[in-house]
Structure 1
Amino acid sequence: MIRKLTLAFAAVLVSVVAFAQNQFQWKEASSGGYTYKYVTNDPAKARFYTLKNGLTVILSPTNKDPRIQAYVAIKAGSKTDPATNTGLAHYLEHMLFKGTDKYGSLDWSKEKVELEKIDALYEQYNSTKDEVQRKAIYKKIDSVSGVAAKYAIANEYDKMMSAMGAQGTNAFTSFEQTVYTDDVPSASLDKYLAVQSERFRNPVLRIFHTELEAVYEEKNRTLDNDGRKVSETLFSNLFQKHNYGLQTTIGTVEHLKNPSLIEIRKYFNKYYVPNNMGIILSGDFNPDEVIAKVDKAFSYMQPKPFDKYTFQPEDAIKAPIVKEIVGPDAENLTIGYRLPGNKDKDALLADLVGQILTNGRAGLLDLNLVKKQKLLRASAFTYSLIDYGILYLSAAPTSGQSLEDVKALVLNEIENLKKGNFDDQLITSIINNIKKNKIYETEKYGDRASVLMDAFTSELDWRDQVAYVNDLSKIKKEDIVAFANKYFGDNYVAVLKRKGESPATVKIEKPSITPVETNPDKQSAFVKTINEMPATAAKPVFLDYKKDIQKSKLGKAEVLYVPNKDNDIFRLSYRYKIGSLNDKKQGLASQYIQFLGTDKMTAEEISKAFYKIACGFNVSTGEEYTTVSIEGLQENFENAVKLYEEVVNNVKADDKALAALKARLNKARKDAKANKGAILQGLTSYALYGSENKFNNVLTNEELNAVTTQELVDRIKNLNNYEQTVIYYGPTPVYNVVSQLKTLHQVPANFAVAAPAKTFKQEVPAKNQVLFADYDMVQAETRWIRNTETYNPEKTTMVNVFNNYFGGGMGSLVFQTIRESKALAYSTYGYYVQPQKKDQDYYLLGYVGSQADKFNDATVAMNELLTKMPELPKNLELAKNQVKKDIQTERITQDGIIYNYLNAKNLGLNDDIRKKMYETVDKITMADVKKFHQNYFSGKPYTYAIVASEKRVSMDDMKKLGEVKKLSLEEIFGY
């Protein structure tokens, strides 16, 4: 994770950006009865308050959307976990969704008695070593938990948030932060604050053993994740005295198996105090009003002193540390150098070093390794934490390379950095691009809140963040070279991830859990109070395609235009009517162009030229369209478009570049076959379309190797002859854009006609069947797929309501049953997927990711829901309300308007479908939902797509589901 940077000053040229530092100063002001601090020239207009109890409140108002991104952030994470109870901060994060003595309970006085018994039983369980005795104690825990659950109401937090129209309700834990996140309608802010103040008052650790099982599942999933193993190995070797390396966020198997509710409460009482917490809000609100509301809601909290984390400095690494990891995923290399923490004077240099090594276009790794196709991929970034940082390098071999070869190539670029072998103008180019990226970061309220939250938990001075571009501009090349020579020697850790069978790991075995009661149809008095709080809903804003999009013509090409009234960013696209369904080689041509030069410029020089003007271009091919995208600052519009047109019209064939591309693609194909996610995606496409499907509609290895440079160059140069739509979002009026493009982009008098698109018909299964792929893993990944009928816009409202009710979130039937009640999976869902085109069919997509030893129970549980749907009227009202609230507060803006219009055209729609949904959602009844379920789900045959190890999931168990077909990787991938 790169530390997020903040805020842009796009109109300021780099040559003058370094003027007097007093343009960025902390100031103090008072308004509405409260004093706050702010930084001058801060585009986020962030106010920093410290309440009497020490609580930090950061407010960044912006009224573009009637919503607020809200974070409650605690400056504590796995770094501050007790060494005897690792994973505790993450545990606690999960439990903060379970409620308090006021919500989540039907009868607190009775529930409390049972929970105290569970507390004592866990302490007894943890101190017992004899496995027979432990199982007996756990059986008691399970039994008492069942009694306690009868007095509990699961998931009341999520239901409250859903009722007020919240989105993105979740939380996350890392080394130094635990953060609770919600995106709420502005009108619901009073409700949100009331819920949050109660949430942190007296959290109750209820329904614990099933939630603990979800954490077990999460841990077991990491045992299947080669990337996680690599990261943990890297950190543990870089940091042998610090908790960055001594313990992981999710904790050890031993500690997870022996949790202490008493220790969890100790942790909460120690770190969840106002002088260690922050509330960060960005969105549509009046800050004077909001600070008073926050103060009132959280004034009950009392500050407490606590010891900050201390550590012994790490010893210098005097020789390379090389470790190996073996697993089924493709081989790769990771290298880490230890850097100082984020407050060190060199931290700014560290950020810039990461950009010089790789920035996507003109870094040393970009130009020397990726552009020249010496590696399959290569990247670098700085990961800055409070106490230390890391330069994190990652690379993967192309065909015929060893990991030792990869390591030598990457380290050679470190040597180039140390010698100053990079363009003198690169720093200036990086700053120009950072300026542009800052604009993107401040456009949306969610991004504003995110960077402010990160700065708070990272204990960064916001003044430094606002002054970031200004400070970067003072750095000179000699500073970078000195930094590189200071920190980058033989003091690295290298992790070589080799392909092979994973060594045996100790996973957390499935305990015997009796499904607990979740009382989904019950409601506490507190929830009723929250729901009855007044809130004036925002009025929905629907698109009027005739008014919101301006249309023009560029020759025979239609121009679709939306103005940018906020800043100087432009985005231009040429959308050509030719895709991979017309021509399998078109996508290859789109990739090939990035490695080609012209008679005047090399491919590397082209990349540098675009990067220098803070612009970029990309060519991508989808099923039906190939799109050229050009973006940047409007002042460089003409230069960027002209540069792209010169490239595409004068592109020069390069046999060597094609040979290297083929080698990389062959390696990437091989790697894809080692990726369980890609395998599951392929099985899903096979289930939807049959043996010949969209996923394996690719060039065979023989076809790929036979492709010539001339074939691809012809496709590149012929691209502009196809039917095309020009899309522009930017500050220039449409007539000026068209006038400029007339001289820059030549549209043919007559369009070429692409070959007919290959069609794939969705298959409705006649009987249950299983498509199985064997993979070396601890988990079992299972999907349910069933095609139904062709798109009908009249069903849109029902589909959205059904998805919310059945399987589309933490409050849905699927999640509540399979995870909350039965503890059978960490991740599970069930959606009725809407087509993207009017002639396509809907299909069900269900999913359970479970331990292999839970496979039978998990599939039975999902099949029960598909066969008989529980009827919970209050949950249905929540699902309908969610659809309505989302529409009320959704604002489709910028070029999103154009793409919404194009998507509507694909579905045969002339108007914004949300208007019809809003008008009809209240009419949906439980009888309607039940009928929908019966018509399309209940008693119907399904295709099961399963990725698992046949050593752990037996063929006999899969046969219980349907006729099993074990597919080879060649059948799945088409090569």
Structure 2
Amino acid sequence: MRVLKLFLLLVVAGNATFAQSKYEWKEGNAGGYTYKYVTNDPMQARFYTLKNGLTVILSVNKKEPRIQTLIGVRAGSTSDPADHTGLAHYLEHLLFKGTDKYGSLDWAKEKPYLDQIEGLYDVYNQTTDVAKRKAIYRQIDSVSGIAAKYAIANEYDKMMTAMGAQGTNAHTSNEETVYEEDIPSNAVDKFLTLQAERFRNPQFRIFHTELEAVYEEKNRGLDNDNNKMYETLFAALFPTHNYGQQTTIGTIEHLKNPSLKAIRKFYDTYYVPNNMSIVMAGDFDPDYVIKKIDEKFSYMQPKPVTEYTAAPEKAITAPIVKEVIGPDAESVNIAFRLPGAEDTKTRLLIAALAQVLTNGSAGLMDLNLNKQQKLLSASAGDYGLKDYTVLFLAGKAKEGQTLEDVRDLLLGQLEILKKGQFDETLIKAIVNNYKLAEIQGLESNNNRATSIMDNYIKSAGKTWAADVAYIDDLSKISKQQIVDFANKNLNNNYVIVYKRKGEDKSTEKVEKPPITPVEVNRDAQSAFLKSIFEMPATPVKPQWLDFNKDIQKGKVGAADVLYVQNKENGLFRLYYKFDMGSWNNKLLPLAATYLSFLGTDKMSAEEITKQFYNIACSFKVSAGSDESSIVISGLNENFDQAVKLFEDLIRNCKVDENAFAALKSRINKSRTDAKLNKGQIMNALTYYGMYGAKNPFNNTLSKADLESLKAQTLVDLLHSLPNFKPTIIYYGPKPLATLTADVKRLHPMPATFATPPAATKFEQVHNTKGNVLFTDYNMVQSEVRWVYNDTKYDPKETAIVELFNAYFGGGMGSIVFQTIRESKALAYSTYAYYSSPNKKELSYTTMAYVGSQADKMNEAIAGMNELLTDIPRSDKALITAKASMKQDIETQRVTQDGIIANYLNAKKLGLDYDLRKDVYNAIDNMNFEQVKAFHAKHIAGKPYTYCVLASDKRVSEEDLKKYGDVKKLSLEELFGY
């Protein structure tokens, strides 16, 4: 459905017979092509089927001169051969390596070596003797090094970057492999020419280093408790179907024994036009685009495709209980196996049922568990696949609570639903909120394209009419139907996985053989690349913001109003921004959280939440470091009602001691869980590196302060918030005069505003020598982040900073990525950039990162340090970086309340104009000498802080001492509690 991303669901409706007659398939003709469309489709999607069977689906959206493109194949890990799992994912990686026309300096000379490598891998796969395998791999490594001399690494990415693409990526899952690009509207010809070539004759070059990247990806998964939990759950839920028997990334054994011949066979089998689609959503002429796609992709020849089928799973007759052990926080996940995407009525019932359980506001779990804080968190959702749908229930325990307690609470809400103990009006409210999200979703090209592609993958596009009719059909679902369905299908037929804390001694890493760094031929260019670069493109003129014209300004009393009118739809967003945050008062974030559990003399917290949900509106109070905000949003027709509801709450909320005690307990548990999460720990290490022992990350209440805190203190703080001077921001349909009058009426302000408390000052550390901050964590990998605070902000440096980042470490074509991953195969994830501050008084910060195997940490650090010391020259890469910068600025459109956000951000930097204009005008005149001089001045030879997160059993202190004085930090030092 179109609101997929906004609801974090994967909901696909079924066939058109259930849809209303106003949503019917029709046929249209334009530009010499026939297409199908569905009446009353707000996306106005056109469905073409070319002569060779290729599906093309186009949705025009003129909001900005960009296009979201997705090229999808209806084959993923479910289609992997049983003896080569992970193969579809391998292939996805290799589709970035080029063909016989690009990615190669000399295809005729390269090909014999690639053929030899393919044969060697076949021998390697069939060899079991350890010594012989090592010898064969040395041959693979040696021949790969020779072959790489003819390869041009990342030439695909260079072409996409130069034409102004963003979000270059791909993903593989159970039933799909999808290639993703966001391109400028003037790059259609270049894009289609490149994509047609990409799928014509892909070559699997630079394979063994890419294999290393997949190894790293697998090891990262082994360090991820959630990943292990879901694999365990699906394996139990699907003992027969490949949904559970094969993982996307594959088994360790199969990763160690890849077959290039098997990968080629998979490509030849599934990458055929009658099994693929091209989806484009954005600003383009559909008649022109379909003609060009037909021209470029007509070479593809259709083949019969046999879709994967499995014997039906046997019914689950009693709960299947599994456990996963790992260092991260504990949780409970329950899953029911239900009918798949083609069963329309059932899919609607499952989606409605999941929303009744939890919709983020007024579902049973939202009100009965989350709002009443009976556990740390609870949620439900559904994941739709072709053959089956999975209904999930998930929860985390609060302090002193067992996972069995969480299980009972989750299943208890399901029992309440089965007894029909919920108001029928909830279904109407769910439908109204879907309508709201649909309006929001239509603004996004990505949302459009993703929704269309989801439908294609699951039904080859046949069920789009039902997808368009989704909300209307959902509104016909009755409470009794949901109750009956739940009682029939949701009983003891579930799988439950307890994620428990502990050391998983069964975890093994993918051992990686030694690899000799390969050539990347950074400055080489194929003739094909040159032809792409030479293709004409109609220039797109950049659009600059004029803060004096694009923002209307007004007053409500002494408060400033910043206003942009919404002329597109009936949605509004109203903000009250205050110049104070947690640095002014540590209690502000806690008070903001507490508010969601409070009621007034007239209404309970649950009643307030229901009222907001029923009118398709919402509110959010948040506190950042130096500012806080109140946001009220939703349907403009309910503006008055929503604002009144919130004003009554913020001014009249009353103490709830039970809610406060539960909140403190949950905060303590959340803090404990945060200390178990490696992402949180690395963030804490980074802040420590930037600011020292006293830093914004650990600027929080101590455990003693939290325990002694009184609920009344927080309520008093909430009551006082309207007494501080706000900046009022509005994006919506109301005229400015009407808006200011309404706010004056609904939001009374004091005669004199209160003065915010003085803010705590945090000073950025300026190193004089290198040092190492280390924290022990039970993990297979090591993660290293370099941190160095440099000079103060200077707007004149913005252009060179952005060019340096684009050239040095900003993407797959950057110097860092090509060296660390492509050439040396030291990491799956790596980057480096010079981070600009968000305030004029702050300093720039250099950030670099490598996540590698612990036993390759020293190599990875050495590789990054070489680049931080000496920047390699690549004139071609610089040209590409500059072209990308220009295209990004030319096609960027700052709209809606983003205009106001841009203005406020500029003010923080001491600017009163759109700085992008200065950057754009400087691009053409910048050269490598300036980039090198910037690197020498700001990057090279600096005394970096190395923030290292790894297991002390895998990384030695002696190794760490090579990089500076070592400081081992406890979690208490990092987190402040």
TM-score band by shorter chain is over 0.9
Q: Which moved more, 1:443-452 or 1:264-273?
A: 443-452
Aligned-pair CA distance for 1:957: 0.9
Aligned-pair CA distance for 1:430: 0.3
Aligned-pair CA distance for 1:218: 0.2
Aligned-pair CA distance for 1:514: 0.1
Paired amino acid for 2:599: G
Change (3 A) 1:20 1:445: closer
Paired amino acid for 1:163: A
Distance (Å, rounded) in 2 between the aligned partners of 1:821 and 1:845: 21
Aligned-pair CA distance for 1:646: 0.8
In structure 2, the partner of 1:242 is 241
Deviations 1:511-550 (A, max 9, x none): 1100000101100000000000000121000100000000
Q: Is the 8 A contact 2:3 2:434 kept in 1?
A: no
1:868 aligns with 2:870: yes
In structure 1, the partner of 2:93 is 94
Change (3 A) 1:379 1:20: closer
1:409 aligns with 2:399: no
Matches within 5 A, 1:57-68: 57-68=56-67
Q: Secondary structure at the match of 2:952?
A: coil
Q: Is the 8 A contact 1:359 1:366 kept in 2?
A: yes
In structure 2, the partner of 1:355 is 355
Q: Is the 8 A contact 1:552 1:558 kept in 2?
A: yes
Aligned-pair CA distance for 1:619: 0.5
Matches within 5 A, 1:896-907: 896-907=898-909
Matches within 5 A, 1:961-972: 961-972=963-974
Q: Secondary structure at the match of 1:729?
A: strand
Q: Which moved more, 1:504-513 or 1:85-94?
A: 504-513
Paired amino acid for 1:759: K
Q: Is the 8 A contact 1:556 1:748 kept in 2?
A: no
Paired amino acid for 1:386: K
Aligned-pair CA distance for 1:586: 1.1
Structure 1 segments unaligned to the other structure (5+ residues) = 9-17
Q: Which moved more, 1:878-887 or 1:128-137?
A: 878-887
Q: Is the 8 A contact 1:578 1:722 kept in 2?
A: no
Change (3 A) 1:214 1:316: same
Aligned-pair CA distance for 1:19: 13
In structure 1, the partner of 2:385 is 385
Paired amino acid for 1:742: K
Distance (Å, rounded) in 2 between the aligned partners of 1:688 and 1:6: 34
Matches within 5 A, 1:80-479: 80-344=79-343, 345-459=345-459, 461-479=463-481
Aligned-pair CA distance for 1:923: 1.4
Distance (Å, rounded) in 2 between the aligned partners of 1:249 and 1:525: 35
Distance (Å, rounded) in 2 between the aligned partners of 1:960 and 1:487: 61
Q: Which moved more, 1:871-880 or 1:770-779?
A: 871-880
Aligned-pair CA distance for 1:446: 2.0
Aligned-pair CA distance for 1:624: 1.1
Matches within 5 A, 1:544-693: 544-693=546-695
Paired amino acid for 1:615: C
Aligned-pair CA distance for 1:925: 1.2
Deviations 1:681-722 (A, max 9, x none): 001000001100010010001101111011001100000111
Runs of 4+ in 1 over 3 A off after TM superposition: 2-8
Distance (Å, rounded) in 1 between the aligned partners of 2:950 and 2:508: 18
Distance (Å, rounded) in 1 between the aligned partners of 2:626 and 2:478: 47
Q: Secondary structure at the match of 1:82?
A: coil
Paired amino acid for 1:450: T
Structure 2 segments unaligned to the other structure (5+ residues) = 8-16
Distance (Å, rounded) in 2 between the aligned partners of 1:755 and 1:742: 26
Distance (Å, rounded) in 2 between the aligned partners of 1:205 and 1:466: 40
Q: Is the 8 A contact 2:86 2:254 kept in 1?
A: yes
Q: Secondary structure at the match of 2:334?
A: strand
Deviations 1:606-630 (A, max 9, x none): 1101000000001000011111111
Paired amino acid for 2:141: D
In structure 2, the partner of 1:734 is 736
Aligned-pair CA distance for 1:506: 2.2
Q: Secondary structure at the match of 1:935?
A: helix
Deviations 1:744-800 (A, max 9, x none): 001222111111101111111111100000000001010000000110000000010
Distance (Å, rounded) in 1 between the aligned partners of 2:944 and 2:539: 41
Aligned-pair CA distance for 1:487: 1.3
Aligned-pair CA distance for 1:234: 0.5
In percent, how many aligned pairs have the same letter? 59
Aligned-pair CA distance for 1:7: 11
Q: Is the 8 A contact 2:18 2:473 kept in 1?
A: no
Q: Is the 8 A contact 1:185 1:889 kept in 2?
A: yes
In structure 2, the partner of 1:910 is 912
Deviations 1:475-494 (A, max 9, x none): 10000001111111011111
Paired amino acid for 2:300: M
Q: Is the 8 A contact 2:99 2:198 kept in 1?
A: yes
In structure 2, the partner of 1:920 is 922
Q: Secondary structure at the match of 1:23?
A: coil
Distance (Å, rounded) in 2 between the aligned partners of 1:230 and 1:169: 29
Q: Secondary structure at the match of 1:443?
A: coil
Q: Is the 8 A contact 1:7 1:42 kept in 2?
A: no
Paired amino acid for 1:382: D
Q: Is the 8 A contact 1:6 1:468 kept in 2?
A: no
Q: Is the 8 A contact 1:780 1:948 kept in 2?
A: yes
Q: Secondary structure at the match of 2:924?
A: helix
Distance (Å, rounded) in 2 between the aligned partners of 1:354 and 1:397: 21
Q: Which moved more, 1:18-27 or 1:886-895?
A: 18-27
Distance (Å, rounded) in 2 between the aligned partners of 1:439 and 1:211: 41
In structure 1, the partner of 2:943 is 941
Q: Secondary structure at the match of 1:494?
A: strand
Matches within 5 A, 1:809-958: 809-958=811-960
Q: Is the 8 A contact 2:340 2:347 kept in 1?
A: yes
Question: Normalization by structure 2: what TM-score?
Answer: 0.98
Distance (Å, rounded) in 2 between the aligned partners of 1:973 and 1:739: 46
Paired amino acid for 2:935: H
Paired amino acid for 1:94: H
Distance (Å, rounded) in 1 between the aligned partners of 2:424 and 2:42: 30
Distance (Å, rounded) in 1 between the aligned partners of 2:904 and 2:465: 43
Distance (Å, rounded) in 1 between the aligned partners of 2:469 and 2:181: 29
Change (3 A) 1:689 1:842: same
Aligned-pair CA distance for 1:504: 3.0
Q: Is the 8 A contact 1:836 1:907 kept in 2?
A: yes
Q: Secondary structure at the match of 1:631?
A: strand
Distance (Å, rounded) in 2 between the aligned partners of 1:264 and 1:587: 52
Distance (Å, rounded) in 2 between the aligned partners of 1:949 and 1:708: 40
Distance (Å, rounded) in 2 between the aligned partners of 1:718 and 1:292: 63
Q: Secondary structure at the match of 2:596?
A: helix
Deviations 1:51-100 (A, max 9, x none): 00000000101111111111110010001000010000000000000000
Aligned-pair CA distance for 1:449: 1.2
Q: Secondary structure at the match of 1:48?
A: strand
Change (3 A) 1:19 1:862: closer
In structure 2, the partner of 1:78 is 77
Q: Secondary structure at the match of 1:22?
A: coil
Q: Is the 8 A contact 2:395 2:406 kept in 1?
A: yes
Matches within 5 A, 1:520-539: 520-539=522-541
Q: Is the 8 A contact 2:103 2:151 kept in 1?
A: yes
Distance (Å, rounded) in 1 between the aligned partners of 2:630 and 2:643: 11
Q: Decide which of 778, 793, 806 is 2:808's aligned counterpart.
A: 806
Distance (Å, rounded) in 2 between the aligned partners of 1:483 and 1:35: 41
Distance (Å, rounded) in 1 between the aligned partners of 2:650 and 2:378: 26
Distance (Å, rounded) in 2 between the aligned partners of 1:470 and 1:504: 50
Paired amino acid for 1:586: L
Q: Is the 8 A contact 1:7 1:439 kept in 2?
A: no
Q: Secondary structure at the match of 2:441?
A: helix
Q: Is the 8 A contact 1:688 1:763 kept in 2?
A: yes
Q: Secondary structure at the match of 2:83?
A: coil
Aligned-pair CA distance for 1:723: 1.7
Q: Is the 8 A contact 1:6 1:465 kept in 2?
A: no
Distance (Å, rounded) in 2 between the aligned partners of 1:866 and 1:458: 47
